[in-house]
Amino acid sequence: MINYFGKMETRSLEKLFRHLDCRIAKWVKNKFKRLNSYQKAFDWLRDIKSSYPNTFVHWSLSKI
């Protein structure tokens, strides 16, 4: 299903992937209290994404 929408509806998939990243950042922010802002949580996620790109399926598929 992701392969189909990835070819036809790329804009909606990017919006979905962004939403998933926001939810993961919210979880990280609540899990690790030292990451007390969303910017720190997103920076942490960016580091994890570059180190382990296959952790989540949408990370390996997204172009962002």
Q: What is the model's pLDDT at position 64? A: 52
Task: Write out pLDDT tens, residues 8-55.
Answer: 777 778 888 899 999 999 999 999 999 999 999 999 999 999 999 889
The range of the structural domain enclosing residue 42 comes to: 2-61
Burial (CB count <10 Å: 0-12, 13-18, 19+), residue 21: buried
> Would you state the structure tokens that stand for residue 35, as one six-digit string?
């990451």
What is the rounded (10 degree) CA torsion for 8, 64, 59, 3?
Answer: 10
Q: Per the structure, how many domains does the chain have?
A: 1
What is the rounded (10 degree) CA torsion for 18, 19, 22, 27?
Answer: -140
Q: What is the model's pLDDT at position 14? A: 85
pTM: 0.78
- Measure the CA–CA gap between 47 and 62, rounded to whole angstroms: 15
